[in-house]
Structure 1
Amino acid sequence: MGAMRRHRAAEAWRWQAGGVAMDLAGLRVVKAVADTGSVSRAAEALNCVQSNVTARVKRLEEDLGVDLFLRLSRGMEPTPAGRVLAGYADRVLRLVAQARDAVAEAAGHGGRLAVGSMESTAAVRLPPILARFHRDNPDVELTIAPGPTETLLAEVLAGRLDGAFVGGAVEHPDLTARRIFDEELVLAEPAAGLTTDSARRTLIVFGRACAYRGRAEMAMREAGRVPYRVMEFGALDAILGCVGAGMGVTVMPRSVVERDPWRELLAARPLPGALARMPTQFIRRTDSIETGSLRAFLAAVSDGPP
């Protein structure tokens, strides 16, 4: 009887405490531990001590009556229940952030917008779009985050970006894609010509997360430049500068290759039709709220050809 009374008392406590631990701080902890797989890394990400993370997780588990994580020698792994809660935590935290931005907009305090973009798009296509947007929305705090397509997809899905310009077709149940324009991809070589066979067989590109890299490798194979070697760089100007110096070739949009100062240093060779066309799309989460800032940005994108 004593054990039964203690069990009922515990159940009553859980019922009375239900929801107390399920606050935003608790949800942030669950998401951080699920994302990092470690209490120490979660604490570092949340800028708090490890004991707070451990206590929050334990309190939530007691509150819900389930184990949220498996304690392993290599870290913390979400249980099925933990994965479910982490998914809801992600959605709730994104909605809270969107709500704050919407309230700020309604109060006339501008708003915030974080947009990702491929480097080539940011260099050539975005300046007139950003000029139109800033002219009409000077109070909006706009951040542009450059990166390769696969990285941008992950950042939008995680809710860290409100949207992003990416290359190629996008098919994901949680993303909405809007085609903005098509790029013509070309094989960029030094204007002075390639002086060695090694340079003809050297491909200078971004990492594998780049949408253009797959096209570039296909172009090398179709041109018979095999075997080829790859040199990876993290910056657009570094890639174009090395091509201009005669170190190798790359595949880029014609709009990039034919802009200053590269038009004097590079030659654009056409690619076969199947490889030459690459759509640039603006993606965002399907379940995201379209804030006034985002509507204004999309209007700036649609206001004439980029």
Structure 2
Amino acid sequence: MLKTFKAVVDEDGIKGAADKLHTVQSNITNRIKKLEKELDTKLFTIIGRKLQLTPSGQQLCEYADQILQLEYQATSAILRNRGTYELRVGMPETFAAVHMPMALKKFKLNHAEIRTKIHTDTSERLVFSVLNNKVDCAAIGNAPKHENLIIIPIVKEELIMVTPRDSEHDPVLFVRDEGCGYRKHALIWQQKAGRGNDELMVMSSADGNEQC
């Protein structure tokens, strides 16, 4: 249940946690209620329309980070002793869907002893995940500048605009929410192209035309 608790904290709510853990929101809610019952304390409070950690929740969050990291280290140590290893790789949803299937297939053929675990998120939060040892490495949409990170270019992508040839249309730029690397580049292009008045529509999943 600690993983569920941390997912709610990291994803800023029940919905985000459900998406991350690939389950329904009612399961997340029930797990949090069960954890609160076991600890006999409230972990979250609602302020406005957002969940906020209570003092007990903040204390548990600090321990949860340490416990989950120790769990990963223990699992990795056991796997290494068995001649296998788990590699945690972070990346945006679209990158995972477009680039990873063939890459994972080749990687598995050449390194059968390494078990790859994919974690999807925005570029900004993936940088945070690498720095905090939540993933071992990440493929992101923009190169951050940080003294504790090693940046290796792996794929060159080009953003393009698609419009109808003969019919009138209202220009709309589809982007993801804050923290997306592609969003940053798309907005820079929008300003340079003098299209600052075009409508901006935020999409929160890989269904969007522009994804991180």
TM-score (norm 2): 0.63
Q: 1:100 to 1:226 in 2, by over 3 A?
A: closer
Distance in 1 separating the partners of 2:96 and 2:45:
43
Output the CA distance in 2 between the equivalents of 1:105 and 1:156: 21
Structure 2: how far apart are the matches of 1:131 and 1:73? 44
Unaligned ranges ≥5, structure 1: 1-24, 58-68, 240-249, 253-306
Contact 2:143 2:151 in 1 (8 A): no
How far is the alpha carbon of 1:118 from its aligned partner? 2.0
Mapped partners of 1:72, 1:146: distance in 2: 27
Question: What does residue 183 of structure 2 align with?
Answer: 213
CA distance in 2 between counterparts of 1:71 and 1:203 reads: 36
Write the deviation string for residues 140-160 of structure 1: whole angstroms up to 9, x where unpaired.
Answer: 432323332134345545655
Q: Distance in 1 between matches of 2:93 and 2:81?
A: 33
1:169-221 deviation line (CA, Å, top 9, x unaligned): 32467x6343233634333224x53733523xx21222333211122122122
In structure 2, relative to structure 1, the CA distance for the partners of 1:122 and 1:157 (3 Å cut) is same
What whole-Å deviation, never above 9, does each CA across 1:81-130 have from its counterpart, x for those lacking one? Answer: x968854652353033222222122123x343332212343344434432
Identify the residue that residue 146 of structure 1 maps to in structure 2. 120
Instruction: Please show how residues 29-44 of structure 1 align to structure 2 within 5 Å.
Output: 35=9, 44=30
The Cα shift of 1:227 comes to 0.9
Distance 1:135 1:47, change over 3 A: farther
The equivalent residue for 1:186 is: 159
Percent identity for Structure 1 against Structure 2: 24
SS state at 1:221 partner: helix
Which SS does the other structure have where 1:226 is aligned? Answer: coil
Could you say which residue in structure 2 is the equivalent of 1:161? 135
Taking the aligned partners of 1:44 and 1:147, their CA distance within structure 2 comes to 24
Whether the 8 Å contact between 1:215 and 1:251 is mirrored in structure 2 is: no
Q: Helix, strand or coil for the counterpart of 1:166?
A: coil
Unaligned runs of 5+ in 2: 13-26
Aligned twin of 1:106: 81
- RMSD, aligned CA: 4.4
Alignment partner of 1:91 is 2:63: no
Secondary structure of the corresponding residue to residue 112 of structure 2: coil
Residue type matched to 2:181 in 1? A
Q: Which has the higher strand share?
A: 1
Relative to the length of structure 1, the TM-score reads 0.47
- C-alpha contact (below 8 Å) 1:118/1:165 kept by paired residues: yes
Partner secondary structure for residue 99 of structure 1: helix
1:117 to 85, 91, 96: 91
Partners of 2:30 and 2:59 in 1: how far apart? 23
In structure 1, what residue type is equivalent to 2:112?
Answer: P
Within 2, Cα distance between the matches of 1:71 and 1:238?
A: 31
Deviation of 1:137 (Å):
2.8
1: CA distance, partners of 2:31 / 2:138: 24
The one-letter code sitting in structure 1 at the alignment partner of 2:175 is: V
Separation in 2, partners of 1:238, 1:176:
29
Counterpart CA distance in 2 for 1:111 and 1:47 is: 34
* Partner of residue 39 from structure 2, selected from 50, 53, 77: 53
Aligned length: 191
Aligned to 2:199: 229
Q: Secondary structure at the match of 2:154?
A: strand
Output the CA distance in 1 between the equivalents of 2:46 and 2:117. Answer: 40
